[in-house]
Structure 1
Amino acid sequence: MKNSKPELYPLKFFPILKKKVWGGSKLRTLLKKNSDQNIGESWELSGVDDDISVVSNGSLKGKNIDWLLSEYKNKLVGERVYQKFGNTFPLLFKFIDAAQDLSVQVHPEDVLAKQRHNSFGKTEMWYILQADENARLIVGFNDEYSQKDYLKALSENRITEILNSVSVEKGDTFIIKPGTVHAIGAGVLLAEIQQTSDITYRIYDWDRPGTDGQMRQLHTDLALDAIDYTTVSKKIVNHSKNDSPIHLGETQFFAVNKLNLTKPMVRNLDDFSSFTVYMCLEGETVIEANGFSEIVSKGETVLIPAQLKNIKFNTQTASFLEVYIP
């Protein structure tokens, strides 16, 4: 007789750590990642080819997200999500530590990404966990420019003069739409939620070599048709400390709330027709669901399968990003 599959429960995954020339030490010191000095990214939950997340807890430990999707289907991600995306996990979750400025880059939207790379586009959202004094982000241009204006500034090495630089602090949030030229500045630690895509067009890299000592490739020609020359992304400022969920932002691909917990909370997920992911920003909690319990601490990420509609946070002080597909 065929063995039945284990029941689903709150799932944690082994972080996938990425060494970057601009990476720092905050993923280790602030988020307790087992990382080297210059690790730039911790991929918390990924369905990107060659970077498939593996379960780190419970009876499904060692199984990856692709296997979970093939076995549990809509029970894991929700009927509507499974019908649309099949056995591809649709979102990618990261923590990013920029000790130096990241390259100035742009991502294509879905149609262009499909045409060129057979990939999703890349809409993303940033939540600032910590920022050093005078830390900043680049989000879009500081005015409306033509492609000709852009190419002239690029050829004259004046690209930084036309970029929109924004100072940031803990709790600031940005939605970065495809086509938006952007960069994470030095001294910023953030959480990133994005479509499952690793397509990046690098347009300026501060004239520095990569980890191998060679200059990294620029994608000037590919970027031209991907850039929105009129876009400026606005900062979402909501530093409320309310216990009730705070809606931070939404795209057609994902929606994000923030939970600030000062007492135990029961969260009913009936209104969400997808899986839910919690990224722990501060503190620690025990999440209980369907007879299972799991400790989740600052810097950890947990996937609540769509099948689980009621969860309880047993905590006194913790905060989370709550992410689902609207």
Structure 2
Amino acid sequence: MAIIKLTPSCKDYLWGGSRLRTDFGIKSDLDPLAEAWVLSCHPDGPSYLPDGTTLAEYLAAHPGCLGTDCDKFEQFPILTKFIDAKNNLSIQVHPSNDYALKNEHQYGKTEMWYVLDCEPGAYLYYGFDHEISKAEFEERIKNNTLTEVLNAVPVHKGDCFFIPSGTLHAICEGIVIAEVQQNSNVTYRVYDYGRVGADGKPRALHVAKALDVTLRTPPVKHDFGSHLAQCEYFTVDARKGAFADAVDKKSFVSLLITEGEGTLTCGGEAVSVKKGDSYFLPANSGSYTVQGSCQTLVTRV
């Protein structure tokens, strides 16, 4: 197979909405529908092939289909999600690889956000607006004044944010994003607006670990040239309309359709694609084309 369509695992976190179902065609009975893990080998939410097997099972049965640039990784390197934040997500931070491997027995998490849609006036938190001490950070968590020193950024459709591990952040209400991240599910919540979970109890916070790993500084500006984001784990590009490219021996390619519809052709196959679809092209699949009015998020290692 040169073109593999993936079906996501979905999550019903309490801050989610319904737009992934209504706007992106994600099929799920969950309500709210907060996240769709559209490219995932993580055991907490795998992606599935049309025959019901997981992407991880396919990769195990087809050695080499990740490409030579993935040989350095012990596991599938990335996880891609749609996220519908009807309400604010918790203010949170992700640890580095070293800290996460030592304390959580899985990798840390660097990620990027690509804003697919947002309500007027929407914003998110991205680092601090000035450097603060660890003592002040701890005190503000205790007295619920942390947001006073956070960097609140107004967002617009098409904005992109690169979030290295250690960066305090939160997606706020009214934003739909595509997230490309390291293959990890380690999150330390710092502040959660006093919300309770389905069990009626306040959701757990992880303040001590967050104090260990958080960079208490404004975010660093990044220049990725023509790319939306680029790091050791992923290179992400946004393509509008028709384009042609190739999948070489170095890396697989993930295609996430974020707008419109069209046709994807690769290896003698042609499939119709539409907003919300996720496709995996194995390494060394050769030339491929996308035709039509769609917009596509293209990810490779």
Question: What is the TM-score normalised by the length of structure 1?
Answer: 0.88
Letter paired with 2:235:
A
Match of 1:186 among 160, 173, 180: 173
Matched, 1:319 2:295: yes
Summarize the Cα distance change of 1:164–1:237 in structure 2 as closer, same or farther, 3 Å threshold: farther
- 2:251 counterpart SS class: coil
The alignment-based identity, stated in percent, is 36
Correspondence for 1:77 among 66, 81, 84: 66
Q: Which amino acid aligns with 1:180?
A: T
Q: 1:12-161 to 2 correspondence within 5 Å?
A: 12-35=5-28, 36-56=30-50, 61-74=51-64, 76-81=65-70, 83-86=71-74, 88-161=75-148
- Count residues in correspondence: 300
For residues 268 and 154 of structure 1, the distance between their equivalents in structure 2, rounded to whole angstroms, comes to 48
Question: Structure 1: where are the runs of 5+ without partners?
Answer: 1-7, 239-245
Aligned-partner Cα distance in 2 for 1:172–1:147: 30
By how many angstroms is 1:314 displaced?
2.8
Amino acid at match of 1:133: P
Detail structure 1 runs of 4+ shifted over 6 Å in the superposition.
235-238
Structure 1 counterpart of 2:193:
206
Post-superposition offset of 1:48: 1.1
Question: 281, 284, 291: which one pairs with 2:261?
Answer: 284
Give the CA deviation at 1:160: 1.1
Are 2:239 and 1:250 equivalent residues in the alignment?
no
Give how far 1:233 is off: 5.1
Q: CA deviation at 1:32?
A: 1.4
SS of the residue 1:160 aligns to: helix
**C-alpha contact (below 8 Å) 1:247/1:256 kept by paired residues:** yes
Distance 1:18 1:236, change over 3 A: farther
The alpha-carbon deviation at position 235 of structure 1 amounts to 8.6
Q: How much does 1:103 deviate?
A: 0.2
Return the letter of the residue paired with 2:36.
Answer: S
Alpha-carbon distance in structure 1 between the residues aligned to 2:53 and 2:263: 23
Question: 2:68 & 2:163 partners in 1: Cα distance?
Answer: 28
In 1, Cα distance between equivalents of 2:286 and 2:220: 34
User: Which SS does the other structure have where 2:205 is aligned?
Assistant: coil
Cα pair distance change 1:233/1:31, threshold 3 Å: farther
Alignment partners' CA distance in 1, 2:222 and 2:114: 10
CA–CA separation in structure 1 for the residues paired with 2:221 and 2:240? 23
Residue 247 of structure 1 aligns to a residue whose secondary structure is: coil
Whether the 8 Å CA contact 1:140–1:163 is kept in 2: the answer is: yes
Letter paired with 2:277: E
Q: Which runs of 5+ in 2 are unaligned?
A: none
Instruction: Please tell me whether the aligned partners of residues 10 and 45 of structure 2 are also in contact (alpha carbons under 8 angstroms).
Output: no
Deviation at 1:230, TM superposition (A): 1.6
- Residues 101-110 or 149-158, more deviating: 149-158
1:174 and 1:234 in contact (8 A); partners too? no
Contact persistence 1:171–1:237 (CA under 8 A): no
Cα contact 1:139–1:233 (8 A) shared by 2: no
2:275 is aligned to: 298
Q: 2: distance between equivalents of 1:145 and 1:55? A: 47
Q: Is residue 247–residue 284 contact of structure 2 (8 Å, CA) maintained in 1? A: no
Deviation at 1:11, TM superposition (A): 1.0
Alpha-carbon distance, 1:249 to partner: 1.9
Structure 2: how far apart are the matches of 1:28 and 1:237?
32
Q: CA offsets, 1:193-223, max 9 Å, x none?
A: 0000000000100111123322100000111
Q: How far 1:266 sits from its partner (Å)?
A: 2.5
Q: What is the RMSD of the two structures over their aligned residues, measured on CA atoms?
A: 1.8
1:135 is displaced (CA, Å) by 0.6
Shift of 1:51: 2.1
Are the counterparts in 2 of residues 175 and 233 from structure 1 also a CA contact under 8 Å? no
* TM value normalised by structure 2: 0.95
Q: Secondary structure at the match of 2:12?
A: strand
CA distance in 1, matches of 2:273, 2:66: 20
Structure 1 residues 210-229: aligned runs within 5 Å: 210-229=197-216
Deviation at 1:145, TM superposition (A): 0.7
